[in-house]
Amino acid sequence: MHSLETFVRRTHSRQEGPVPTESIGVAAARELEARVNDGAMAELAEIRELETARVANPRELARRAILFGIATPNRDETDSLGWALAAAPRFGAVSPVDLSETRYRSLKTDQDGNTIGLGQSLTGAIEDVYARLADAAPAELTPGRLETVRGVGPKVARMITAVANPNARVWTVDLWHARQLLWAAGLEYRVRASVDAAAYPILEACWLAYRDEHFGDLPTWCAQWWTWNAADGRHNPHHALWADLAA
């Protein structure tokens, strides 16, 4: 079994060099779940502010959570946050195409005029959001409803749900969490892992059981976030998305 220090060094997002691809299907997910070592898994202020924002400005928080989530696929999360903040005031007032082309200030460089790219897929998602979730409250943002939006799969749906409802019993099983399970199972984890939609509930249940055992008194998203930080070797704050809503 590799050490957690080795895991972080080999898996965090600032590593260099190519890695192989690992597609995790249903059978592989079940095998992975069975092989996970509980001892290995055990090694692994913004939530309070988020809860305040959720009470004070629920529908605006829901809109921002949706915009952030649909902008995350194949993009850096910092760019997704910047775009969501810039797009939120225009939500519902401009067409889906115009909203997808919203220019934003980079939270990394502080430079204005950035574009998010992949406009066609983002426009399709916005069209569905306008039609079905334009005035949704946080509690209405469930994985089932969100997965009806084009381009939104299990992972993105749960990311949106978690931002809007940090106590919701969902888990965003992304690249890092899949690698953690591979590591805890004693398998090669330095891979670009993807999880099939049909396999997703199996690995999600594995992580939720971990949360119940080790972080049962905390919001589920808090536990998920901490384990993501362990994988990436840093804390990636999201509070820019809701800080002003909690003021």
DSSP string, 36-83: --HHHHTT--HHHHHHHHHHHSHHHHHHHHHHHHHT-TTS-HHHHHHH
Q: For 80-234, where are the E strands, in sequence order?
A: 192-195
Let me know whether 67 and 112 are in one domain.
yes
Which residues on neighbouring strands pair with residue 23, listed in sequence order?
194
Q: Is residue 72 part of a domain?
A: yes
Let me know whether 128 and 204 are in one domain.
no
Q: For the chain, where are the E strands, in sequence order?
A: 21-24, 192-195
Give whichever of 12-16, 56-60, 76-80 has the largest mean pLDDT. Answer: 56-60
Let me know whether 217 and 177 are in one domain.
yes
Between 39 and 237, the higher pLDDT residue: 237
Least confident segment among 4-18, 51-65, 164-178, 232-246? 4-18
Number of domains in the chain: 2
Mean pLDDT of 39-65: 84
pLDDT band at residue 13 using 50, 70 and 90 as cut-offs: low
- Residue 44's pLDDT is 45
Give the residue from 115, 148, 167 where a domain finishes.
Answer: 167
Let me know whether 80 and 152 are in one domain.
yes
3-class SS of residue 20: coil
- Residue 7's pLDDT is 67
Mean pLDDT of 173-186: 92
Between 60 and 109, the higher pLDDT residue: 60
Is the model's pLDDT at 4 over the cut of 70?
A: no
Q: Is residue 245 part of a domain?
A: no
Mean pLDDT of 222-241: 85
Let me know whether 154 and 187 are in one domain.
no
Query: For residue 112, what is the domain's CATH number?
Result: 1.10.340.30
CB 23 within 8 A of CB 182: no
Give the residue from 167, 188, 217 where a domain finishes.
Answer: 167
Give the residue from 145, 167, 189 where a domain finishes.
Answer: 167
Mean pLDDT of 80-105: 97
> Whole domain around residue 113: which residue ranges?
46-167
Q: Is residue 247 part of a domain?
A: no
Q: Is residue 246 part of a domain?
A: no
The structure's pTM equals 0.84
Mean pLDDT of 206-217: 93
